[in-house]
């Protein structure tokens, strides 16, 4: 019926709003079914808190075929399911995304405080068996997987052991499941035959993320083969550790995609690989470079990217290079993040980056902030540091209230740990002024660093109730 199609469209649009989606689960069966489909399409989008993690794992176990359940039971692996009855829906069939790393982390987390901890910790085979049975189910139930995260080490801080004995591509149903992938995330330690076989069946990957581990790579040729076999690669993300330069081996395979890549992301500490190939990405719209030391930054100094809209750069102290780059490419920028800054760079931003909507920058002087706000008339969001020799929070609030453009509505403050320099009276004054702005836009306020004092929270809660503050978030760094 037409109204059902309309409801489906509305619920589809709420894909990233889990709180609203959860409230729709109890309306009626139709709402519940559509909502479940939306939630499970990319279940890994939601933060895996302890409760959510165990619930997802229990649901996955409940969906396993009886053969797999019996196999786990015989090995002494007992994971309770939500109910003794069969699942209400075939949840896994709704999935369009698979994160092997998250499955591994869920399993390790679940058994951490359970009675079976000793069994699981002393037997890696049991851990891998649970992962393997879940993956077999995914491969058999999904014939149109869009996103695959084959990364077992997603961050520097949180590492999960790689199940070495599982070859995903050899599982039953894997070829049909993986043939329509559009996004792949993986590490350099993935077995070479996975890349080789995937290159034969999958040619529509648009987004590729590669995490290069230090001194761990054995599949360079096969990875190049996979990259070259794609029809329209649009996004490439490379994360390296320390002085790892192995990633430069894939550069020749990128030539085919110079005209299609619109997003490029490179993160590391040291870099000895050439960056000149980036200048060939003529349709680049987003560029993120986070490298403390690179001898080849100068290769990008005079590069021209007419379609560049977003630039995030961590570059040490090469201000003069970035200044020239912004003079050539700043006119269409809408998003700019600079992790280091000086006065001349601020002046350059204010002069050449007039279409900015979001800016993250270090500002030291009152006049620098005023110049940014006066010149960048389309600015909507600002993220600034307020500690050491940077501007104080109260000064930033005063300048924002008096000089911010009409569409400005979000401020993200980074405070030094243990050094809060904002007082209730100053907060009150700011929101009194903000309340009378024309045109009025409710304010988003983010404070990162210290826990907000109780008196300040009272002011914030007051103006949230009045609708002056749309959203408040505190990011406490311990």
Note the pLDDT of residue 306: 96
- Pick out the chain residues at pLDDT < 50: 122, 154-161
Note the pLDDT of residue 157: 42
The rounded radius of gyration (Å) of the Cα atoms in the chain is 25
Sign of the torsion formed by the C-alpha atoms of 295, 299, 301 and 305 = negative
For residue 86, give Cα distances in angstroms to 3, 64, 475: 30, 10, 41
| Tokens of residue 213, six digits | 């581990």
For residue 48, give Cα distances in angstroms to 105, 176, 254: 9, 28, 34
Note the pLDDT of residue 214: 62
Note the pLDDT of residue 477: 76
Conformational region of residue 404, where left means phi above 0, alpha means psi within -120 to 50, and beta covers everything else = beta
Note the pLDDT of residue 121: 52
Using a 10 angstrom Cβ sphere, with 0-12 exposed, 13-18 middle and 19 or more buried, the burial of residue 210 is: buried
pLDDT digits 0-9 by tens, 21-52: 888 888 888 888 888 888 888 888 765 555 67
Residue 321 and residue 342 in contact, taking contact as beta carbons nearer than 8 Å = no
Q: How far apart are the first and last CA of the chain?
A: 53
Helix locations, 302-342, DSSP H: 319-329
Place of tokens 């630039």: 311
Note the pLDDT of residue 160: 43
Helix locations, 330-418, DSSP H: 343-352, 366-375, 393-403
Count the neighbouring beta carbons within 10 Å of the beta carbon of residue 444: 16
Note the pLDDT of residue 269: 63
Note the pLDDT of residue 449: 84
C-alpha to C-alpha distance for 213 and 187, rounded to whole angstroms: 7
| Cα angle, residue 172 at apex, residues 167 and 174 outer, rounded to 5° | 65
Note the pLDDT of residue 51: 64
| Strands (E) located in 170-216 | 183-187, 207-211
pLDDT digits 0-9 by tens, 285-298: 999 988 765 555 67
Note the pLDDT of residue 173: 92
Q: Which residue, 417, 360, 368, is CA-closest to 395?
A: 368
- DSSP, collapsed to helix, strand or coil, labels residue 267 as strand
Note the pLDDT of residue 79: 81
Domain ranges of the chain: 1-41, 388-478
């Amino acid at each position: 019926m037409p109204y059902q199609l309309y409801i489906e469209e509305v619920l589809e649009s709420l894909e990233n709003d889990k709180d609203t989606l959860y409230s729709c689960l109890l309306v009626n069966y139709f709402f519940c079914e559509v909502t479940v489909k939306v939630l499970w399409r990319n279940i890994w989008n939601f933060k895996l808190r302890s409760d959510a993690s165990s619930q997802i794992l229990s649901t996955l176990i409940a969906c396993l075929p009886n053969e797999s359940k019996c196999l786990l039971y015989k090995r002494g692996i007992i994971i309770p399911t939500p109910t003794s009855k069969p699942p209400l829906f075939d949840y896994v069939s709704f999935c369009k995304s698979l994160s092997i790393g998250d499955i591994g982390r869920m399993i390790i987390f679940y058994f951490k405080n359970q009675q079976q901890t000793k069994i699981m910790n002393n037997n890696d085979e049991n851990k891998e068996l649970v992962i393997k049975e879940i993956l077999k189910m995914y491969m058999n139930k999904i014939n149109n997987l869009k996103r695959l995260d084959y990364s077992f080490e997603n961050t520097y801080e949180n590492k999960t052991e790689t199940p070495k004995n599982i070859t995903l591509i050899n599982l039953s149903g894997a070829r049909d499941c993986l043939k329509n992938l559009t996004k792949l995330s993986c590490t350099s330690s993935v077995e070479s035959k996975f890349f080789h076989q995937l290159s034969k069946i999958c040619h529509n990957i648009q987004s590729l993320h590669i995490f290069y581990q230090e001194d761990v790579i054995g599949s360079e040729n096969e990875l190049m083969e996979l990259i070259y076999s794609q029809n329209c690669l649009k996004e490439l993300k490379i994360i390296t550790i320390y002085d790892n330069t192995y990633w430069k081996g894939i550069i020749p395979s990128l030539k085919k995609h110079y005209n299609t890549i619109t997003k490029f992301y490179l993160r590391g500490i040291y870099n000895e690989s050439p960056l000149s190939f980036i200048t060939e990405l003529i349709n680049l719209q987003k560029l993120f470079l986070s490298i403390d030391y690179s001898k080849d930054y100068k290769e990008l100094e005079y590069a021209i990217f007419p379609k560049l809209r977003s630039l995030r750069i961590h570059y040490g102290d090469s201000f003069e290079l970035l200044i020239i780059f912004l003079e050539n490419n700043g006119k269409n920028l809408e998003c700019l993040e600079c992790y280091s800054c000086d006065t001349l760079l601020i002046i350059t931003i204010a002069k050449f980056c007039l279409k900015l909507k979001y800016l993250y920058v270090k500002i030291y002087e009152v006049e620098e902030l005023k110049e940014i706000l006066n010149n960048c008339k389309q600015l909507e969001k600002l993220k600034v540091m307020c500690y050491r020799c940077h501007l104080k929070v109260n000064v930033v609030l005063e300048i924002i209230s008096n000089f911010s453009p009409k569409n400005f509505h979000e401020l993200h403050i980074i405070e030094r740990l243990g050094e809060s320099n904002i007082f209730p009276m100053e907060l009150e004054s700011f929101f009194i002024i903000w309340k009378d702005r024309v045109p009025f836009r409710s304010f988003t306020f983010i404070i990162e660093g210290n826990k907000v004092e109780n008196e300040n929270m009272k002011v914030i809660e007051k103006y949230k109730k009045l609708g002056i503050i749309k959203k408040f978030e505190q990011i406490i760094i311990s």
